[in-house]
């Protein structure tokens, strides 16, 4: 596998929409009570030849960057790490001192992934996913490993 990472370009838009729809049911993500179109965010795309094998989208804020979505289409292949490293590198180049990410309480794979890469559990927001489900009904009640989904968990890393 010869994976290359590059910034998302306008020409990638439909492919980004398709990937986000496959992985997240829609490019529209609910964040702090507002819908965010992840397909219009900056980020990085991973290619193996002509095939898209990963994607990360990032919200740029004045004091931090927040990863909204990170997808590797080939688990444990290093693609997620390459995408995360691209975000961290770009954050440093742009003078950011912090990168954060949110996930749901059932996502044990994300817990492991981010903590092994220097992120620390920062906060648990009880009931956030339950509230989001009222607006975005496609959010499942139960997630990975049969764990009921209720809470949002925030991880962050200084860069």
pLDDT of residue 10: 96
Residue 140 has pLDDT above 90, yes or no: yes
Start-end of H helices in the chain = 13-24, 79-93, 108-115, 128-135
Give me the CATH number covering residue 147: 3.40.630.30
pLDDT at residue 26 is higher than 90 = yes
Domain membership of residue 134 as a residue range: 3-158
- What pLDDT score does 67 carry? 98
Asked whether the predicted pLDDT for residue 157 surpasses 90, the reply is yes
Tell me the pLDDT tens digit for each residue of 56-79: 999 999 999 999 999 999 877 899
Q: Closest Cα to residue 18, out of 157, 114, 45?
A: 45
> How many structural domains comprise the chain?
1
Q: Over pLDDT 90: what percentage of the chain?
A: 91
Q: Between β-strands 65-72 and 98-104, what pairing exists: parallel, antiparallel or unpaired?
A: parallel
Banded pLDDT at 126 (limits 50, 70, 90): very high
Mean pLDDT of the 136-158 span: 95
Q: Is the pTM of this model over 0.85?
A: yes
Give the closest residue to 105 by CA, choosing from 69, 64, 140, 53: 140
pLDDT for the residue numbered 86: 98
Structure tokens at 32: 């702090």
């Amino acid at each position: 596998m010869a994976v290359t990472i590059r910034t998302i370009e306008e020409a990638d838009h439909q492919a980004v929409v398709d990937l986000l729809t496959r992985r997240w049911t829609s490019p529209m993500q609910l964040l702090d009570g507002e819908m965010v179109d992840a397909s219009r965010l900056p980020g990085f795309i991973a290619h193996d030849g002509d095939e898209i094998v990963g994607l990360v989208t990032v919200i740029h804020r004045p004091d931090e960057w927040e990863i909204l979505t990170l997808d590797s289409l080939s688990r444990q292949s290093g693609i997620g790490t390459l995408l995360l490293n691209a975000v961290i590198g770009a954050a440093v180049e742009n003078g950011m001192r912090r990168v954060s990410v949110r996930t749901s309480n059932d996502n044990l794979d994300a817990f492991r992934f981010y903590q092994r890469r220097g992120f620390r559990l920062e906060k648990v927001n009880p009931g956030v996913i339950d509230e989001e489900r009222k607006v975005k009904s496609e959010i499942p009640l139960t997630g990975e490993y049969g764990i009921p989904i209720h809470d949002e968990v925030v991880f962050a890393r200084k860069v």
